[in-house]
Amino acid sequence: MSRIRAFTMPKWGIEMTEGTVAEWMVKEGDSFTRGQTLCLIETAKITNEVEAEYDATVRRIMVAGGTEAEPVGALLAVFDEGAHSDDEIDAFIAGFTPAEGGVAQGASKAKVVEPVGAIAGAPERVRVPIETNRPISPEALRLAEEESVDIAAIEGSGRGGRITHQDVVRAMRGPASPVLKGALALPEDDAKVFASPLARRIAALHGIVLAGVAGTGPRGRISKADVLALVPAPANSDGLAPPAFVAGANQPEIVPFDRIRKIVAQRLTQAKQEIPHFYLRLSARADALLDLRKSANLVLGCKASVNDWVVKGCAMALVRHPEVNVQVHGTDIYRFPHADIAIAVAGPKGLVTPVVRQADRMRIDQLAAETRRLIDKAQGKGLGMEDLEGGTFSVSNLGMFGVENFDAIINPPQGAILAVGAAQRQPVETASGGVAFETRIALTLSVDHRAIDGAAGAQFLQTLKTLIEEPQGLFA
């Protein structure tokens, strides 16, 4: 039986309250089939490519692409499985009541894509079927068939290497030539003029034509000195002083917050204002851990990073100190038996914190594989809500950038976050009064004082320090 269907803002995960229609892949009057991409919906952390779960026709689009965010359950479009009249569609819209908890239409994650619009009056395209067993979205396959694009050379940027619509569009455009803003146009780029790049630039700055200039460099190459000899002296009394510098306008480039950065900024501001932070700092000797890491990576055949070992140490310390392994919900404290550790990752659109589930139960090689999987998904914008929800503790590491130490902001509703600095060689006094060098890592624990006392945080840090300095305990 044919019916009119409401297409509403879906809800992916318990923390999602709103989303933005980034772009429609169909327009009013278009008929679509099951599996066809309908639109792109952008949430706080990810962009989802929404696919149809049934065949229908787009009768009304209620929210245009690229507009403001809409709450979960808001009416985005009206689809018709039959041939209902406009009056029936209007009556359906008038009687629609928004309800929270919209259902996703077979969503899969993908990057924001840039569709190729049809050209008015253009002849109908002939689709050449493409047979492939590579993962590819229906819209991407359709475009590749219509434009005769060879997908063999395309590297998919979607989840699991899936080829997206945007990947095909990029392949059609070919490699782009970069344009450098503010770059000086060099008039003497004629290959017949044999000059160094610096000589060409100086000549361009002073309007000197290099054609016919005799070079004194190797094989007659025009050098910097040759061009400077042709630069006229400044017109002043002594002939030596350079002209006075005149500062031009320093106009800013205004870059508004994108949706994800806006949400992150709101959450961080709220966390810093509402959570009474206090900080505990210490450093741990890391030489034994660094030696063990090299051996373990060879024996286990993995590539566990120093951060993976720190995450493992945190997970084991959290199990021993459950009063730190908590979430704060209003006036209730949730304590957990296992450590679900969120790791801070710099994604293409801002900071994201995917969660390593039950890290305390993993071997180091398993933990390293899981963190690598989450980091790859984060950098490819393939994270789903299931990767981001929850977490009982966070680890943020800036040591790879040479940052010695820093204070991290707690990621609510978690009760604490560990900031990890760079491993540095430092001189220390030996028992005999001499001086030796050792490698130390600075650790700063940011704690929610509403739920965690100072002594509990200090005991957690002491346990973590022991696990780092005596890393054989990480295999217990």
Which residues are catalytically annotated? 449
Contact criterion met (CB below 8 Å) for 73 and 102 = yes
Question: Counting Cβ atoms within 10 Å, is residue 338 exposed (0-12), middle (13-18) or buried (19+)?
Answer: middle
Tokens encoding 19? 């989303």
Query: At 129, which amino acid appears?
Result: P
Tokens encoding 464? 């973590």
d(CA 19, CA 41) in angstroms, rounded, equals: 6
Query: DSSP state, 54?
Result: S
Tokens encoding 172? 């059609």
Whose CA is closest to 277, among 119, 457, 405, 26? 457
Q: Looking at 259-386, which runs of residues are DSSP E strands?
A: 277-285, 326-329, 332-335, 341-343, 345-347, 350-352, 355-356
Show the DSSP H helices in 57-195 as ranges.
86-94, 138-147, 165-173
d(CA 423, CA 312) in angstroms, rounded, equals: 17
Q: How far is CA 399 from the centre of its chain?
A: 19
Provide Rg for the chain, Cα atoms.
30
Strands 341-343 and 435-448, bridge-based pairing: unpaired
Q: Looking at 363-465, which runs of residues are DSSP E strands?
A: 393-397, 416-429, 435-448
Q: Looking at 10-135, which runs of residues are DSSP E strands?
A: 18-24, 31-32, 37-42, 47-51, 56-61, 70-71, 75-80, 108-109
Q: How long is the chain?
A: 476
The most distant pair of C-alpha atoms in the chain lies apart, rounded to whole Å, by 96
Query: DSSP state, 106?
Result: S
Q: What is the DSSP string of 195-243?
A: B-HHHHHHHHHHT---TTPPP-SGGG-B-HHHHHTTSPPPSSSSS-SPP
